[in-house]
A and B are shown apart, each in its own frame.
Chain A
Amino acid sequence: DVKVTQSSRYLVKRTGEKVFLECVQDMDHENMFWYRQDPGLGLRLIYFSYDVKMKEKGDIPEGYSVSREKKERFSLILESASTNQTSMYLCASSPNRGRPPLGETQYFGPGTRLLVL
């Protein structure tokens, strides 16, 4: 069964804090993704990774960084949290079945709702 887990369901942080969001998948998937989801804007891709230690910018990478030291784990880092980063953050993973990394079925975690005060 497909399983993507995220370290926290809810987080409250203060402006300027460094924030770590962790994601783990147990399906041996090559590709992992971080999205944010905001009302009226849908899902927006922040960063993705198609291999260990590899990362690519998505559509809205500004203010974020990522780390992928192990295949199963993909971390999203907010270096200095700001109020406009208050959002729902979704991690996803997908296998490599011959399609481009971004064009394969993605399986999502439960999400982390982050509030930055």
Chain B
Amino acid sequence: GESVGLHLPTLSVQEGDNSIINCAYSNSASDYFIWYKQESGKGPQFIIDIRSNMDKRQGQRVTVLLNKTVKHLSLQIAATQPGDSAVYFCAEAYYKLSFGAGTTVTVRA
């Protein structure tokens, strides 16, 4: 069955440093991956996506890397800011989205 997980449930980052959030997936047939950000008391917000025919995609201050060989996905946030404090979910999709449990990122001033 599908299993989407994040390596660490929590991550503490110094403001200004880069953050790396990891995610492992188990379904080798998954062809589409999404990262979401959920701030306290709010719904998940789409950050960036990547299709399986790519291994890297960049957005504004964020980069997603996909390693299909080891079924690993990561989200890199450059110059982490206090507003980046949130829970980050990865989701994999084949015929349906499967969401990971999330990593809580805390930014230290």
Which residue numbers of A lie inside 8 Å of B, CB to CB? Answer: 2, 4, 40, 42-43, 90, 92, 99-100, 102-111, 113
Residue of B nearest to A102 (CB): B96
Say how far A89's CB is from chain B's closest CB, in angstroms: 10
From DSSP, what is the main secondary structure of chain A's interface residues? loop
Which residue numbers of B lie inside 8 Å of A, CB to CB? Answer: 32, 34, 36, 41-46, 49, 89, 93-97, 99-102
Say how far A98's CB is from chain B's closest CB, in angstroms: 11
**In the complex the two chains form, what is the Cα distance from A103 to B99 in whole Å?**
11
Q: Is the CB of A103 within 8 A of B101?
A: no
**In the complex the two chains form, what is the Cα distance from A107 to B38 in whole Å?**
12
Q: Is the CB of B43 within 8 A of A100?
A: no
Residues of chain A with a CB closer than 8 A to B102's CB: 42
Say how far A29's CB is from chain B's closest CB, in angstroms: 13
Contact for B32 among A92, A103, A109, A111, CB less than 8 A: A103
Say how far B26's CB is from chain A's closest CB, in angstroms: 15
**In the complex the two chains form, what is the Cα distance from A4 to B43 in whole Å?**
10
Query: Do A109 and B93 form a contact, CB below 8 Å, given A40-B101, A103-B32?
Result: no
